[in-house]
Amino acid sequence: MTLPRTPSFRLDGRRALVAGASSGIGAACAVALAEYGAEVTLCARREAELEILAKDMRAEGWRAETLPLDVTDLDATQAALAERPAFDVLVNSAGLARHSPATETTPEDFDTAANLNFRAAYFLTRSVAKGLLAAGKPGSLINITSQMAHVGGIDRAVYSATKHAVEGMTKSMAIEWGPHGIRVNTIAPTFIRTPMTVGTFANPERAAWIASKIKLGRVGETTDIMGAVVFLASDAAALVTGTSLFVDGGWTAG
């Protein structure tokens, strides 16, 4: 008999855009994609951090360039992408948190979180998709959401709402662009040790709550996301679209 062969996880010849690449999950995703052969464009507001990461990646023999950009500036983002060939892969990891009891949410905090986590994500995904459609190419668009897009959390009404919105747009975009070979998915991590979560882990009450929820008994590291992003970007996930890949240590299973 002819034995089947596992589709390749390699990303050679593909161009990837990683937003929020200056630190944390975004930086880890950029490294993972480059390690598997992609030519990676690192996008974030912090130019100095991008240059350091790009330099270190090039030292490994990988291909990386920087694109200093505030993705909440929709006109600038669209213009920057229009100047470049279509990206085969998008990882949208740009995000922030404004945690507080719902009764204390300010309009300013709501708008700040929604503008980056949802509005910017929506239009960045749209811009990359438009480039693929114009070029007649397939692609893989990946939005980093959170387990909090699927469950509630202490002081996280705004954050959960913005991430839930991204889950919703992802499903609709997957339906719309599926006939063109463009896949759209999310990765929903649990609490990951990054600069953004330092304050949460420093709070003993919050740290104990997190530890009680994660069934595997540990919080996440950025390396836990790397395999997931390579999988969704690659041909190994060729029939995966419109869904969320949980990297949550079993949190949502309970």
Give the residue numbers marked as catalytic: 159
Quote the CA–CA distance of 64 and 55 in Å, as a whole number. 8
Taking the CB of residue 67, how many other CB atoms lie within 10 A of it?
19
- Tokens 């679209």 -> residue: 241
Q: Are strands 63-68 and 39-44 parallel, antiparallel or unpaired?
A: parallel
Give the CA count within 13 Å in the CB-facing half-sphere of 24: 21
Q: Is 194 left (phi over 0), alpha (psi -120 to 50) or beta?
A: beta
Sheet of 89-92: strand order equals: 63-68, 39-44, 15-19, 89-92, 139-144, 182-189, 244-247
How many residues does this entry show for the chain?
A: 254
Q: How far apart are CA 144 and CA 91, in angstroms?
A: 7
